[in-house]
Structure 1
Amino acid sequence: MQERSTAPGAAPAIGVLALQGGVAEHLAALDRSGALARPVRRPEELRGLHGVVLPGGESTTTSRLLHAFELFEPLRERLAAGLPAYGSCAGMVLLAREVVGGAEAGVTPLGALDVTVRRNAFGRQVDSFEADLDFTGVDGPVHGVFIRAPWVERVGPEVEVLAEVTPRGAGDDPAAGRIVAVQQGRVLATSFHPELVHGDERVHRHFVQTVRAG
């Protein structure tokens, strides 16, 4: 059964998976973007949602917690039924159909996005960086905060590439041109953390508008 969109003019109810990661920051950004944001820790809290956000954190830990809290199957079923979703960093990993090295790391992807993602692709914590990105559907550059971030190595035919990272330095930079934001229908994902850039809710507003549009 296809998920229904919110009524015209009404604030959509958007849940934030509250098992770890930047939960408070996403809740605040969604509130400022015109949504009714609420944390989600139990399967019954998925009921009545018009959308869901999977925040960053550690993808292996979040994957295990989804199973421990008996959230994995209910969430997977809601996503398969068309529930709009946005995943940042580890959330991108979890939304993917395929994760490079995911099985060895204990990551069970939800399969809502027809992409292949490489976790921790940009390096370890010390390799974290920030960059301004051209983001399709958003006016002006978006400031991306990358922390042990993934990148997208393959996109399916129905997936739109929204942003690629530009070179960080001179020479042959393996990060140059990597895909860091994608959207397939009403499922959005970014390698970076827009919730950490206070005062700029454009990515969250883009997702809220996607939820509203149905």
Structure 2
Amino acid sequence: MIGVLAIQGGFAAHINVLRRLGVPHREVRLPADLAGLQGLIIPGGESTTMLKLLQAFDMKQPLQEFAASGRPILGTCAGAILMAERVTHPEQESLGWIPVTIERNAYGSQRESFQTTQACEAWEMDAFPALFIRAPRFREPRSEVEVLTRLDDHITGVRYKHFTAITYHPELTEDDRFHQAWLTHQVHGAETEPVEQVTT
């Protein structure tokens, strides 16, 4: 069972992908919705609004406990912003799970939305379509953070332990290979190991 955080943003697109792949899934809005999940997807949306709603729904601490349990988490765009240790342009609070800096709106107003392709050698994925919408970019990853995808000299996807974060939206295309690869490599192929509790 895969959960999709459904308090704000583009959660429906991820649910549609999971449905097409035949994966059991559940919308997550309350702490009780996290029970029994094998993994969690945090969608794109508006990261500052998401943080406020997490607080309003008493979800921040349950999410930290879920993260500490070692179960896989995937974040896309705003989800990636929430997962990064440090956020810039401008600075804001985050959940702090991945030791990397993320710069918001990294491509400027001239490139607010564009589609290109990405490739992920670690997951043996040739070019797949990816939509960038007011996308951030990763900077200054620590040595233990694995870079999964790039766009020119920009880091667009990273993996750290059981956390995967990408700055683009494969769920808004008709190609479901990225989600399938995440399920294969991070969910079904992962051993759940508790990690040090993250506090904010």
TM-score (norm 2): 0.88
- The alpha-carbon deviation at position 184 of structure 1 amounts to 1.1
2:69 pairs with 1:84: no
- Name the CA distance, whole Å, in 2 between partners of 1:52 and 1:102: 27
- The corresponding residue for 2:134 is 148
Secondary structure in 2 aligned to 1:140? strand
- CA RMSD, aligned part only? 1.5
TM alignment of 1:119-130, pairs within 5 A: 119-124=104-109, 127-130=112-115
Q: Is the 8 A contact 1:96 1:110 kept in 2?
A: yes
- The alpha-carbon deviation at position 132 of structure 1 amounts to 1.2
The percentage of counterpart residues that share the same residue type is 41
TM-score (norm 1): 0.83
- The corresponding residue for 2:125 is 139
- The alpha-carbon deviation at position 125 of structure 1 amounts to 8.2
- Name the CA distance, whole Å, in 2 between partners of 1:189 and 1:86: 6
Q: Is the 8 A contact 2:107 2:135 kept in 1?
A: yes
- The corresponding residue for 1:186 is 162
Which residues of structure 1 form unaligned runs of 5+?
Answer: 1-12, 167-176
Sort the Cα spacing of 1:125 and 1:41 in 2 relative to 1 into closer, same or farther, 3 A. farther
- The alpha-carbon deviation at position 129 of structure 1 amounts to 1.2
- Number of equivalent positions: 188
Deviations 1:68-90 (A, max 9, x none): 11111110121022121000000
- The alpha-carbon deviation at position 36 of structure 1 amounts to 1.1
Alignment equivalent of 1:212, drawn from 188, 193, 199: 188
Q: Is the 8 A contact 1:102 1:108 kept in 2?
A: no
- Name the CA distance, whole Å, in 1 between partners of 2:162 and 2:47: 22
Q: Is the 8 A contact 1:121 1:149 kept in 2?
A: yes
Letter in 2 for 1:180: T
Alignment equivalent of 1:30, drawn from 18, 43, 54: 18
Deviations 1:113-134 (A, max 9, x none): 1211111112248621111122
Letter in 2 for 1:62: M
Letter in 2 for 1:109: S
Which residues of structure 2 form unaligned runs of 5+?
Answer: 191-200
Bigger Rg, structure 1 or 2: 1
Higher strand share: 2
